[in-house]
Every structure is written in structure tokens, then in C-alpha cells.
Amino acid sequence: MSDQAIRVLDPTVANQIAAGEVVERPAAVIKELLENSLDAGATRVTVDFSRGGKALMIVEDDGKGMAPDEALLSLERHATSKIRLAADLDRIATFGFRGEALPSIASVARFTLQTRPAAAANGVEILVNGGKVIHRRDHGMAPGTRIEVANLFHPVPARLKFLKSDETEAAHIVRLVRLYAVAHPGVGFLLREDGRELFRSPGKAPLLERVREIWGKQVAAELTLMPAFERPGMKVSGLLGHPGVSRATRQDLVTVVNGRPVDSRTMAFALTESYHTLIPKGRYPLAFIFLELDPAWVDVNVHPAKREVRFRDEARVRGFLIESVLAVLRSQLAADPERTPLAMPSFAPAFVPPVPAPGESSAPTVPGSPAPSSPETPASASPEAPAPLRLGWRLLARLREERAVFETPTGVAILDLGAAHQRVLYEAILARFTEGRPVSQPLLVPLTLELEPLPAAVLKERHSLLTAAGFEFEEYGRNFWRIAALPVWLDPADALVFLRDLLTEMARREGDFGRPALAYDALAKLAVARARRKGDALADGELLALAEALFRTAQPATCPKGRRTFVEWSDADLGRRFG
Ligand code: ADP
Ligand code: MG
């Protein structure tokens, strides 16, 4: 017991523990280094990395640099030049202030700091490996700072296991650097992977041009300039997506507060609210929003690895944003009445007749059917002409469009058209996946898809899965893909939006898509949720066929999300009710 006495942690161990919070992945290291460069007043920043940052990351700036003794001190825990007193915490204008990043990073990698203030004749180089200073010597260089981080997490191998593939880690780095570059239009950025230039943006261009340099042509073409709007203590400007342009996630809803790329529920909500009638429900607009306000009105003293920001007066910020964005959207719509908002994106073509699973043994029990005693199995039927299943139902009426009332041989049933249609569609799509039948339709004119790095990495990682599902594609330039074939159930007109959504969904739920069964299930659910034809768009003449198709599925009682597809009363039930 006596060897369990309380002791102060060895500084290296303390730093490695802090590193667990500050740097969870390579992109987090780049974030800390970039923020330091921007805090140091850099006008040019170059970021290099290789193997997703696991092997090497370098951030180089032309900022104010550090004198040799400052450089050594910067590697001490809680050494910062940015705040002195607790009271300063209320008006932080810089990114850093904890003085934790450099010592943390240096404790879990091979870390080389080279730095020189403009006033000094020479620079200094300090090499630290796993928290131990290896050498410190003079170093000839231009004014500024260059930090090299090699072999991240080698001193703490347990952490290595948590890193994702090189491609996924690289995608996080690219996304991060893009965010910071767009948030600092005045600073020149260069990003390279293995010496290959990913983007370069000199930092003098107008915002739209800047976004084109950093995010690509396709995104830039969907944006309009938002002029500055002001209120006492607040100012907003940026770029707004055209009405009708939408995304499945908040990925392309970029929000910058006082030069800091942030996540803000309030801002995302305000934007989504403003576009509310212009984009489909559940989707997000595309926008780059720059909000400036008194630092005292923003709370940044949150978790170091998180980007979530809070405002002292959320309602005021929200109101201001909604008003400003609506003003732009209104004038856009007024100027271009032709631009009608797009309807709900829609995916699967009409109603696909389901295929009975081969060798299906237990025929689903059909409510109100005259007892399943005659096993004429429909298993030999071809998919084009499913064997008629004699349900013996008769359509009586349609209830408020979305339901239908049937007389059954033994009572009355009410079918929920949406839920039933989704079940039928879902199993039809799933059957195509699992049976491995030819599922592709070649495209006469291949489609071109430009992807964000993260979805692009997913596309590569899940190549075989998507091929098995009927997609055929090849990369022809970084993040550019040519799509030559689609699954038969996917309408080519909807393919790009569907793929974008699918890939962002896959990136969000990395684990689920590792196993084909789960992946197919998720794919089918997504396809069904976005189906072009909703159940309630079926004509009366199609309703009986829908009911029959429903009872050929494996689980006729519920839709893929678990909602009931029908309710039923037997004649006996009804008799009792009439007493
Ligand atoms: P923080 O940013 O919270 O102050 P860091 O550990 O990130 O803590 O950095 C420690 C100190 O090192 C900073 O306060 C700053 O004085 C100095 N520093 C770090 N990076 C640079 C840089 N690129 N240029 C100039 N000074 C830097
Ligand atoms: Mg810092």
C-alpha cells in the first residue's frame, strides 16, 4: 500500500494525458499549429502532410516567431503569451490561451520546432522526442515558425489503434485546412500531401473566388454573395446557396465566428429556418456565413477539441441571422421568379414489384385470407410477373389520401399506403442486393461527381460494397469521379444527390457500413425514405396490387422503420362492437 502514496505526475506523463484531450487525431494537431500561426499574425501558411498525417505533418508560417528562450518556454505546460489573468478569459481574441498544445503534441511525437523573430539575426531549432528535449541549436532561416510533427503517437502506441485509415485521416486534415483557409480570406494558404498540391489560395481574392480555389468549382457555382448586414455589435456577411440547393448534412453549412470556424446550433438553425420553404424538410442549406461580434458576447472557453460555440444572447443572434438571410433570399427570388424551389429529391422509380425470395418456405400469413392450407407456392414466378397472390380483398374507399379501407374475406382492414409502399420497396431493393442479381444499368453519358474529401475517402474505402450494389465508378482526378453505371432502382436524374447523401451518411456512421448486411439495409432504407413516388401517389387501381405485394414481403406488418402497415377488424370484432 505504501507504494501507492500520492505523487505529482512526471511532466511527460501529464502532457501525454493532456494530449489525449487536445490531439485526438492528426487533424487536431494541424488545427493547433494552424491556430498558433494565425495567432502569430502569419500572412502565409503552408501545411504539408503524408500518410494521413500519421507519418508527417509540417506547418510553416511567416508570423512573428519566437526568441530562443520563448521557444523553450512554449514547450512548458501552461506556458502561453496570450493571457495573464483569469479576467482575460472573458475577452479572448486569440485561438489559443491554454498553453497546452505544444507540450502535449511534443509528448506524443517526434517534434521539431524552428523559429525566428524578424528582429533576430538567427533562428533556433529544438528537437523533442516523446517529451524529451534531444537538442537545441541555432538555425538559419527566414523569420517565422516551422513545426514538424513526425511519427505521431509512436511514444503511446495504444493511441495509434484509434486512428482511421490514411485516407480518412487525410480527409479530416483537408476539411480542417479548408475551413481555416476560408475563415481567413486575407491569409495565403497552401496545402500539400506528399508534396502534391491539394489547393493553393493566395489570399487576395474576393470571397467567392476564394471558395472556388479552396472548395472547388461545383460548390462555388451554387453560391451567391451575401452583402454585409449590421446591428449594434454584430455584423454578418458571406455566401448563400441558391434557393433549392440542399445537402443531407451540415457539412457544407460553414459558419465562422470572429475568424474561427465553429459549429453552432443556433447559426445552423437560423439558416435552416430561413431556407425552410426553399429546400426539402430534413435537409440543410449550403452557406458560408461570417459572423463578427464583440468577443465578450461569445463563449469559446469550451472543450479544446470541440468547435461548438455559444452566444451570450442566442435569440438575438438567431433573429439577426434569419432576418439578414431572408432579405437576401427574398431579393433573389424576386429578381428571378423562374427559379422555383426544387421539389423533394426523389430516388427510386415508381413501385417495384417485389420478388419472392427463392425457396421461401413459410408463406407470410395474410390477415383475413381463407386459411393458408393450399400451399400453391409462387416461388417459380419471374420477377417481371409475380404470381398473383389471391388476397381476396376489395377496395372500399380511400381515407384522406394516405390510407385505404378494404373489405377482407373475414372483416375490414385499413392499409397505410406510405408504410406499405415503403416495406414493399425496401424488400425489393434488399432482394436485389442479397441475391447478387445483375443490378446495374449502364449510363449512356457518364455522370461526374465532385466530392468533399471525407465522402471521397468513404467512396474509396467502400468501393467493393458499392460495386456490389450496382454502382460503377472510377476516379479521374482527386475527388472527381466518373459514374458509368447505377443500380436499376436508382433514377439517373437523382443519382448525384443520392450518392452525396449516401456517402455523407456512410461517413457519419462509419462502423455500420463495414458489414454488408448492415450496409445493404441502410442503403435500402435510404433509397426508400427518398422514394420518388410516395405510397399516397398510387392510383386507386394500384392499391390492391400494393396490398398483395405487401403480403408477399417477409415482414408485412411493419414498414422498415417499424411503423404499422395496416390495422384490421374481424367480423367477430365488429359484431362485438355492435353488441
Ligand atoms: P496557446 O496557443 O494556448 O498559448 P500553445 O501551446 O499552442 O499554447 O503555444 C504556446 C505559446 O507558444 C503561444 O502562446 C505562443 O506564444 C507560442 N507560439 C506557438 N506557436 C507559435 C507560432 N507559430 N509563432 C509564434 N509563436 C508561437
Ligand atoms: Mg495554441
The closest ligand to the CA of 61 turns out to be: 1
Q: How far is the CA of 158 from the centre of ligand 2 (A)?
A: 25
For the chain, list the domains and their CATH numbers: 11-202 (3.30.565.10), 208-335 (3.30.230.10), 345-579 (3.30.1370.100)
Neighbours of ion ligand 2 (CB under 5 A): 36, 96, 101
Quick count: other Cβ atoms within 10 Å of Cβ 166? 18
Q: Is 116 helix (H, G, I), strand (E, B) or coil?
A: strand
Instruction: Specify the residue with its C-alpha closest to ligand 1, atom 17.
Output: 74
Instruction: Specify the residue with its C-alpha closest to ligand 1, atom 19.
Output: 36
Each residue of 384-403: pLDDT tens digit? 344 445 678 899 999 988 89
Q: How far is the CA of 33 from the centre of ligand 2 (A)?
A: 7
Q: How far is the CA of 76 from the centre of ligand 1 (A)?
A: 11
**81: Cβ below 6 Å to ligand 1?**
yes
- Helix (H) or strand (E) holding 266, with range, is helix 265-274
Q: How far is the CA of 89 from the centre of ligand 2 (A)?
A: 15
Q: How far is the CA of 180 from the centre of ligand 2 (A)?
A: 14
444-447 contacts: CB < 8 A, separation 24 or more? 446/482, 446/483, 446/484, 447/482, 447/483, 447/492, 447/495, 447/496
**410: Cβ below 6 Å to ligand 1?**
no
Q: How far is the CA of 172 from the centre of ligand 2 (A)?
A: 19
Confidence (pLDDT) at 344:
27
Compute CA distances 558 → 366, 375, 475, 493, 526, whole Å: 13, 24, 40, 30, 17
Compute CA distances 427 → 280, 327, 430, 492, whole Å: 25, 45, 5, 21
**82: Cβ below 6 Å to ligand 1?**
yes
**Residue 277 DSSP symbol:** T
Confidence (pLDDT) at 87:
55
Q: How far is the CA of 100 from the centre of ligand 1 (A)?
A: 9
* Cα–Cα dist 277/70, whole Å: 55
Amino acid letter for position 59: V
Q: How far is the CA of 74 from the centre of ligand 1 (A)?
A: 6
Cell numbers for 403, please give them. Answer: 390510407
**How, if at all, do strands 411-416 and 566-570 pair?**
antiparallel
Give the residues across from 225 on adjacent strands. Answer: 239
Indicate which atom in ligand 1 lies nearest the CA of residue 94.
2
**104: Cβ below 6 Å to ligand 1?**
no
81-84 contacts: CB < 8 A, separation 24 or more? 82/39
Side by side, the strands of the sheet bearing 394-399 are 394-399, 403-408, 411-416, 566-570
Confidence (pLDDT) at 332:
79
Indicate which atom in ligand 1 lies nearest the CA of residue 147.
23
Q: What are phi and psi of 496, to 5 degrees?
A: -65, -45
Give the residues across from 385 on adjacent strands. Answer: none
Closest by CA to 216, choosing from 512, 513, 479, 531, is 479
pTM for this one? 0.64
Indicate which atom in ligand 1 lies nearest the CA of residue 37.
23
Closest by CA to 242, choosing from 227, 221, 222, 270, is 222
Each residue of 26-71: pLDDT tens digit? 999 999 999 999 999 999 999 999 999 999 999 999 999 999 999 9
The closest ligand to the CA of 78 turns out to be: 1
CB 144 within 8 A of CB 42: yes
**332: Cβ below 6 Å to ligand 1?**
no
**102: Cβ below 6 Å to ligand 1?**
yes
Confidence (pLDDT) at 32:
93
Give counts: helices (H), strands (E), the chain. Answer: 17, 24
* Cα–Cα dist 103/345, whole Å: 49
**479: Cβ below 6 Å to ligand 1?**
no
* Cα–Cα dist 29/414, whole Å: 58
* Cα–Cα dist 265/268, whole Å: 5
**77: Cβ below 6 Å to ligand 1?**
no
Q: How far is the CA of 457 from the centre of ligand 2 (A)?
A: 29
* Cα–Cα dist 74/518, whole Å: 48
Instruction: Specify the residue with its C-alpha closest to ligand 1, atom 13.
Output: 80
Residue ranges in the chain modelled with pLDDT below 70? 1-4, 8-9, 18-22, 78-79, 82-98, 300-306, 336-390, 434-439, 509-517, 530-533
The closest ligand to the CA of 89 turns out to be: 1
Q: Is 345 helix (H, G, I), strand (E, B) or coil?
A: coil
* Cα–Cα dist 221/330, whole Å: 19
Confidence (pLDDT) at 380:
35
Confidence (pLDDT) at 480:
86
Amino acid letter for position 577: R
**269: Cβ below 6 Å to ligand 1?**
no
Quick count: other Cβ atoms within 10 Å of Cβ 253? 21
Cell numbers for 537, please give them. Answer: 401517389
* Residues of the chain above pLDDT 70, percent: 79
Q: How far is the CA of 75 from the centre of ligand 1 (A)?
A: 9
CB 111 within 8 A of CB 135: no
